[in-house]
Amino acid sequence: MLIQAKGLSKIYGSGENQVVALDKANLTIAPGDFISIIGPSGSGKSTLLHLLSGLDHPTSGSLTYDGQEIYTLSDKELSAFRRRQMGFIFQQFNLLPVLTARENILMPLLLDKKQPDEGYLDQLAELLGLRDRLDHLPHELSGGQQQRVAIARALIAQPEVIFADEPTGNLDSKSGGEVMELLKGIRDRMGKTLVIITHDNRIAAAADRQLTIMDGVLSEVEAG
């Protein structure tokens, strides 16, 4: 799925109180790309992620997925599009505490009224090292295991694009490194497009394409 952002801007307020959170960003994301977007707190990177994934609407600019302008979709259509085409991984694991790991993973399918593919769930559990943890509640899992459950939940609907916002931010360096290796493995084995927002240079360097954002201005770091 080819994603193209053209002139994406997000402005809050007006007059003297106007804040330009994102300033005319242009970005093409090809199928299978592994992209990192790095910037300090308040630079606009989360705003960019929210716009690229249709979680927020821009002040101006366009965003197309295989030529389809997604901002013209109704809220209901856009929600369905996100559920089926995108997976989300956040710094906060956002697991429901009363549900087992398995139930948390399957939640997106239940929301879309789809039957789980047990073979695919087993494949994910094996890939993410969760096979013996599926019946555990979140409080019975380590931080790294909880993030693995969140990754499996992001993948269960077999989306084409994974958006990750500071996916290792709540983990120690060892667990964070393991999660990044898992994400790279997922991209390599499953051919997913991976877009990671981070403030960690080590994580950013693992991507095939690196972009920086500062004061709402997006630019790509030349390879080499």
Answer yes or no: is pLDDT of 16 > 90.
no
3-state secondary structure (DSSP) of residue 214: strand
Element (H, E) at 28: strand 19-29
Tell me what the pLDDT averaged over the chain comes to. 90
Question: pLDDT per residue over 118-173, tens digit each?
Answer: 999 999 999 889 999 999 999 999 988 998 999 999 999 999 999 999 887 777 88
Question: pLDDT per residue over 55-88, tens digit each?
Answer: 999 999 999 999 999 999 999 999 889 988 999 9
Answer yes or no: is pLDDT of 190 > 90.
no
Is 4 within 8 Å of 64 (Cβ atoms)? yes
pTM: 0.89
**Alpha-carbon dihedral 155, 159, 164, 167, rounded to 10 degrees:** 0
Report the pLDDT value the prediction gives residue 120, as an integer from 0 to 100. Answer: 92
pLDDT band at 223 (very low <50, low <70, confident <90, very high): low
Please, which residues have CB within 8 angstroms of residue 208's CB and are 6 or more apart in sequence?
A: 33, 34, 35
Report the pLDDT value the prediction gives residue 91, as an integer from 0 to 100. Answer: 81
Our CA angle for 194, 105, 179, nearest 5°, is: 45
Between 179 and 74, name the one with better pLDDT. 74
Report the pLDDT value the prediction gives residue 203, as an integer from 0 to 100. Answer: 80
* Structural domains of the chain sorted by starting position, each given as residue range(s) with its CATH number in brackets: 32-50+76-221 (3.40.50.300)
pLDDT band at 102 (very low <50, low <70, confident <90, very high): very high
Report the pLDDT value the prediction gives residue 112, as an integer from 0 to 100. Answer: 83
Answer yes or no: is pLDDT of 224 > 60.
no
Tell me how far apart the alpha carbons of residues 39 and 197 are, in angstroms, rounded to a whole number. 8
Report the pLDDT value the prediction gives residue 155, as an integer from 0 to 100. Answer: 92
pLDDT band at 33 (very low <50, low <70, confident <90, very high): very high
Most confident of 21-35, 108-122, 171-185, 202-216: 21-35
